[in-house]
Each structure stands twice: as C-alpha cells, then as structure tokens.
Amino acid sequence: MFREIQTEQERILSVRDLIVRELRRQADIVENYPQSWSIQDVQERLSFTRWAQHGVGSSALRKRHRELCHEVADVYDELEVTKSQGAAPPSAERLRAIADKLSEAEL
C-alpha cells in the first residue's frame, strides 16, 4: 500500500515537472516576440504536448492547489489562442512565474 501511494505521488510530481518544463519553454519562445520574431514564428514554435497528454495531472494536485491549477489552465488557453488565432501571447515573465509556483506546489 505504501509503495502504491509513493508511486502515485511520484507520477503526480513527474507530470507536474513535465508541465513546468513545457511552460518554461513557452516562456523562452514568447520572450522573443515582438523584438526578434513575428507572431507567426511564435505560433509555429508553441507546442502543448505535455499539457495535452496530462492536463494538470491529478485530483490531488487540483484539490490542494485549485487556484494555481486554474491559473495554469487559463494561461494554456491564452497560449492556444495565440497559436490558433495569432493573439498576443502572455508575457514570458507571467509564464515563468506560473511555472515557478507550480514547481513549488507540494502534495
């Protein structure tokens, strides 16, 4: 039983870490807009692989960090609008701040 709990916690933390890394990659991408890249460049580079696969991960994470999970979902929605419609992306600073908060979120 303890091993099952530990394994589930490891899975949740692993998913959390994958999404944190993906958010940081998104921040690196949008940081180049509009100084170096056009919105089309940003659209081409944005990728939501981990988010599409895992979402926020688990009910345990959502239960303890409800507002943070909503914040993550909202910023991904904004990134999706950027990718699909060419809207201005959220700031790199905001993406990194959310990634940092998620990284620090404990179960």
- Answer for the pair 61, 104: CB distance below 8 angstroms, yes or no: no
The number of distinct structural domains making up the chain is 1
Question: Residue 35 carries which DSSP code?
Answer: T
Q: How many CA atoms lie within 13 A of 24 on its CB side?
A: 11
Give the model's pLDDT for residue 24. 97
> Taking the chain (107 residues) in consecutive chunks of 10 residues, what is each chunk's mean pLDDT?
66 87 96 91 92 71 87 95 96 98 89
Give the model's pLDDT for residue 42. 95
- Answer for the pair 33, 89: CB distance below 8 angstroms, yes or no: yes
- What is the pTM for the complete model shown? 0.87
Residues of the domain holding 28: 2-104
> Alpha-carbon distance 60 to 16, whole Å?
11
> Alpha-carbon distance 32 to 70, whole Å?
26
Give the model's pLDDT for residue 23. 96
Give the model's pLDDT for residue 59. 65
